Amino acid sequence: MTADLISEGTLESLESARARGRSGDRPPALTEPQVLEAREMYDELDVRGKHKCTLTPTAGTFAVSRKTPYRHLDRDEHRTG
């Protein structure tokens, strides 16, 4: 009974928030300019044709986990490919 009331109240609150334009999602870890900068850092090649900066140091530059730049790169590849 109590769980039903809590669930109902939660659903009403979420519906009310959506009506006000709130989604409840987390903000992105990287802004669009940061994503572009990370892409430029990763795409830069040395004289041997290898990446000057891998994604691990790139993630450290922006203080995010290693997976974050990978997610953004995958998203970019799906858009263009």
DSSP assignment of 66-78? THHHHHHHHHHHH
Which of the four pLDDT bands, split at 50, 70 and 90, describes residue 71? confident
Length of the chain: 81
Which of the four pLDDT bands, split at 50, 70 and 90, describes residue 81? very low
**SS3 at position 45:** strand
Mean pLDDT, range 3-25, rounded to an integer: 87
Task: Tell whether the model's pLDDT for residue 20 goes beyond 60.
Answer: yes
